[in-house]
C-alpha cells in the first residue's frame, strides 16, 4: 500500500505544530523534547522493528526507526535512538532516559507504570521459529516437558508462552537477538516471537520453519510513553500513529524493511488488521 504525497501531508498535519503545542506545556515531555532538541526513542536489536548496522553501529533501519525519524521531523527535532531491552524499557521511561518505545503492548500491568495512546500502532500474530523436524501445528504440540522454547524476558511473548505451554522448558533471554541465538545454537527447539521478527530471523539463519500455532493469537501493539499529569505528549503520539496507520504509512514502512532485507512483502502477513486474510 503506497500512500500519496497528499496523504503524507495530511498525516503530518495531524501533529500539532511545535510553536503551539510547546507553548501550552509547562515542563512535560513535549516541552522537554523541544528544549533538548531531540526525540529519544528506545531501540533494541529486533528486526523488522529496529536494526543496527553492524559496521557503522547506527540504528538506521526498521519500522520503529522510520517512524521515530518521521515523528522527530514532525516535531522539528533530531531522532535520538537509545538502546534498551524489552525488559528495561519501562524503567527507562520512568527514569526519563527515553521518551517513547514502539512495539510495547498495552497490558494492564504496564498501564500501571506507563501511558499508552488510545489508537493501536499495528497488529500482529504470535508465531514460532521451530526446528524443521519438530511437529508443530498447535500450542498443545509445544506444551511438552521435552520442548525447549526461547523467549525475550518480560515480554508479551513470555507471558503468552507461559500461559499456553506451562509444561514446556521456557528459556528467558534479555531480548529477541539472544532468544534467536539460543535457537541457532541448538539450545532451544523453538523461539517464540511475534511473526514479523521471525521472518528476518529465518532469512538470516537459512533454516527452521515459521509456524503460527492454533488457536491463532493476534493482538494490537502500542507505544509506551512516560506517565505524567500533562497528557499533551501521549495525545500527540496518538494522533500521529493513528494518521500513519490510516494512511497506510505504517504498512509501507514495514514492507520497505522486508524488501530491503531480501524478503518479499507479499509473503508476509500484513500489520494492518483490515488487510489480514487478504491476498
With helix as H, strand as E and coil as C, how does 244-275 read?
Answer: HHHHCHHHHHHHHHHHHCCCCHHHCCCCCHHH
From-to residues of CATH 3.40.190.10 in the chain: 5-121+222-275, 124-218
Cell numbers found for residue 246: 490510516
For residue 276, the model assigns a pLDDT of 61
Cα separation, 9 vs 74, in Å, equals 11
Rounded to whole angstroms, the Cα distance separating 206 from 199 reads: 11
Cell numbers describing residue 225: 510513553
| CATH class label, 5-121+222-275 | alpha beta
Is 60 exposed, middle or buried (CB count within 10 Å of its CB: 0-12, 13-18, 19+)?
middle
Dihedral pair phi/psi, residue 172, rounded to 5°: -110, 130
Q: What pLDDT sits at residue 142? A: 98
Q: At what angle do helices 232-247 and 29-36 cross, to 10 degrees?
A: 80
Q: What mean pLDDT do residues 104-126 have?
A: 94
Q: Is the model's pLDDT at 19 over the cut of 90? A: no
Of 14-23, 84-93, 202-211, 268-277, minimum mean pLDDT range? 14-23
Asked if the model's pLDDT at residue 24 lies above 70, the reply is no
Q: How many CB atoms lie within 10 A of CB 222?
A: 27
The cell numbers describing 170, all together, are 521456557
Percent of the chain with pLDDT strictly greater than 90: 69
Secondary structure letter of residue 27 according to DSSP: S
CA terminus-to-terminus distance, the chain: 13
Q: Cα–Cα distance between 256 and 264 in angstroms, integer?
A: 10
CATH annotation of 124-218: 3.40.190.10
What's the whole-number mean pLDDT along residues 115-132?
94
C-alpha to C-alpha distance for 40 and 30, rounded to whole angstroms: 11
Tell me the whole-structure pTM to 2 decimals.
Answer: 0.72
Q: What share of the chain is helix, strand, coil (3-state, %, to 5)?
A: 40, 20, 35
117, 71, 3, 235 alpha-carbon torsion, rounded to 10°: 30
**Rounded to an integer, what distance in angstroms lies between the CA atom of residue 188 and that of residue 71?**
38
Q: What is the pLDDT of residues 32-67, one digit of tens each?
A: 999 999 999 999 998 889 999 999 999 999 999 999
Q: Distance between CA atoms of 24 and 18, rounded to whole angstroms? A: 10
Amino acid at each position: 500500500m503506497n500512500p500519496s504525497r497528499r496523504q503524507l501531508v495530511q498525516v503530518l498535519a495531524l501533529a500539532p505544530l511545535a510553536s503551539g503545542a510547546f507553548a501550552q506545556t509547562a515542563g512535560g515531555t513535549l516541552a522537554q523534547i523541544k528544549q533538548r532538541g531531540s526525540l529519544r526513542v528506545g531501540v533494541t536489536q529486533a528486526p523488522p522493528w529496529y536494526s543496527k548496522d553492524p559496521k557503522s553501529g547506527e540504528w538506521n533501519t526498521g519500522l520503529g526507526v522510520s517512524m521515530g525519524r518521521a515523528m522527530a521531523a514532525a516535531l522539528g527535532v533530531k531522532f535520538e535512538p537509545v538502546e534498551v531491552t524489552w525488559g528495561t524499557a519501562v524503567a527507562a521511561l520512568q527514569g526519563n532516559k527515553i521518551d517513547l518505545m514502539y512495539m510495547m503492548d498495552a497490558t494492564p500491568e504496564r498501564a500501571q507504570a506507563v501511558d499508552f495512546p488510545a489508537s493501536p500502532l499495528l497488529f500482529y500474530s504470535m508465531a514460532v521459529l521451530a526446528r524443521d523436524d519438530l511437529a508443530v501445528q498447535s500450542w498443545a504440540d509445544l506444551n511438552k516437558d521435552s520442548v525447549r522454547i526461547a523467549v525475550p524476558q518480560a515480554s508479551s511473548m513470555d507471558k503468552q508462552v507461559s500461559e499456553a505451554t506451562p509444561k514446556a522448558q521456557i528459556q528467558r533471554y534479555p531480548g529477541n537477538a539472544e532468544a534467536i541465538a539460543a535457537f541457532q545454537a541448538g539450545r532451544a527447539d523453538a523461539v517464540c516471537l511475534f511473526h514479523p521478527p521471525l521472518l528476518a530471523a529465518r532469512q538470516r539463519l537459512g533454516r527452521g520453519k515459521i509456524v503460527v500455532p492454533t488457536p491463532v493469537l493476534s493482538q494490537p501493539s502500542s507505544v509506551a510513553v512516560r506517565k505524567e499529569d500533562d497528557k499533551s505528549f501521549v495525545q500527540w503520539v496518538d494522533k500521529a500513529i493513528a494518521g500513519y496507520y490510516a494512511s497506510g504509512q505504517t504498512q509501507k514502512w514495514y514492507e520497505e524493511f522486508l524488501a530491503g532485507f531480501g524478503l518479499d512483502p507479499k509473503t508476509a502477513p500484513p500489520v494492518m488488521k483490515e488487510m489480514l486474510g487478504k491476498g
